[in-house]
């Protein structure tokens, strides 16, 4: 005797669930300074001295409250990268970014943590390397909206050559 499966009825619907969440006191300050003044702020731990970007209320290592704001340079050093050959959905647009492209982690001068972002450079191993100096490119002030997409991309500083070896 075979068990007869029940036919399930499905009703296709699309649920629209708009939502907003509070960025919080520290992230709000970070985003407002970025939007209004083009400043990149980080927070420094009073115990271990780590300078975190984006800012966190509590140091994850020391569990003490961070309360010293630090303005970071817009320049830094590429500490890791990947050349992407698959589309990656841009969280700020919801659209895939056309491959190939370079995605990298830059430690801005003065920061302990890194900023991960699109690197605007030809996606070839001849043009990108760990240690490359980069700068942050912001949206023009009139176009800034107060979220992380106000940082458009990272770009290499001019006049550099990939070290041999």
Residue 57 contacts Zn ion per CB under 5 A: no
Residue 64: CB minimum distance to Zn ion, A: 6
Residues 136-165 that bind Zn ion (CB under 5 A): none
Residue 62: CB minimum distance to Zn ion, A: 3
Residue (25 or 47) nearer to Zn ion, CB: 47
Residue 65 contacts Zn ion per CB under 5 A: no
Residue 48 contacts Zn ion per CB under 5 A: yes
- Work out which of 24, 25, 47, 130 binds Zn ion, going by CB under 5 A: 47
- Work out which of 41, 43, 45, 128 binds Zn ion, going by CB under 5 A: 45
* Paired tokens of 31: 């985003």
What's the rounded Cα separation, in Å, for the pair 118 and 152?
8
Q: What is the CB-side half-sphere exposure of residue 27 using CA atoms within 13 A?
A: 9
What's the rounded Cα separation, in Å, for the pair 57 and 66?
5
Strands (E), the chain: 40-44, 51-52, 68-72, 75-84, 88-89, 96-97, 101-108, 115-119, 133-138, 151-156
Residue 62 contacts Zn ion per CB under 5 A: yes
Binding site for Zn ion (CB under 5 A): 45, 47-48, 59, 61-62
């Amino acid at each position: 005797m075979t068990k007869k499966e029940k036919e399930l009825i499905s009703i296709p619907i699309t649920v629209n669930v708009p939502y907003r969440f509070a960025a919080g006191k520290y992230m709000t300050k970070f985003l407002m300074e970025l939007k209004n003044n083009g400043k990149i702020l980080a927070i420094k731990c009073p115990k271990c001295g780590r300078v975190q970007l984006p800012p966190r209320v509590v140091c994850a290592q020391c569990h003490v409250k961070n309360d010293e704001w630090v303005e970071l340079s817009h320049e830094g050093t590429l500490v890791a990268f990947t050349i992407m050959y698959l589309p990656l959905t841009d969280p700020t647009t919801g659209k895939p970014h056309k491959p190939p492209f370079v995605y990298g982690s830059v430690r801005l001068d003065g920061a302990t943590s890194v900023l991960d972002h699109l690197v605007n450079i030809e996606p070839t191993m001849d043009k990108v390397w760990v240690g490359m100096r980069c700068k942050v490119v912001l949206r023009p002030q009139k176009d800034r909206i107060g979220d992380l997409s106000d940082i458009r991309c990272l770009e290499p500083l001019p006049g550099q050559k990939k070290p041999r070896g």
